[in-house]
């Protein structure tokens, strides 16, 4: 059981982090999407995949929420 003082602060801390969006590297995006690096960049070029954010010298990251939204936008194949 949680100590009483943590029981009251936990919900406040959770609300404080609700708007946090994780920045994830390409390898994680590949694992989450099941796509190769080449396919990801081909889909980006065609406007069908979220664009990464530049975070410094040659480094990019994707917003986790963008990848989740992309996954949710996919339709089942018929």
| Mean pLDDT rounded to a whole number for the chain | 85
User: What pLDDT shows up at residue 31?
Assistant: 97
Instruction: Pick the range with the lowest mean pLDDT from 41-45, 57-61, 69-73.
Output: 57-61
C-alpha pair distances (Å), 49 with each of 6, 10, 19, 22, 55 = 41, 36, 22, 17, 19
User: pLDDT tens-digit profile of 5-22?
Assistant: 545 555 555 555 567 899
Domains in the chain (CATH in brackets) are 22-72 (1.10.238)
DSSP state of 61: E
Helices (H) and strands (E) in the chain, counts: 4, 3
User: What pLDDT shows up at residue 38?
Assistant: 98
| 39, pLDDT greater than 80 | yes
| 48, pLDDT greater than 80 | yes
> Which DSSP helix (H) or strand (E) runs through 4?
helix 4-16
């Amino acid at each position: 059981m949680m100590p009483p003082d943590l029981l009251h602060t936990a919900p406040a801390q959770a609300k404080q982090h609700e708007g946090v969006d994780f920045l994830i590297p390409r390898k994680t995006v590949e694992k989450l999407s099941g796509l190769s690096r080449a396919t990801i960049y081909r889909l980006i070029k065609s406007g069908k995949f979220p664009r990464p954010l530049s975070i410094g010298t040659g480094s990019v990251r994707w917003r986790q929420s963008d990848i989740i939204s992309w996954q949710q936008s996919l339709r089942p194949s018929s």
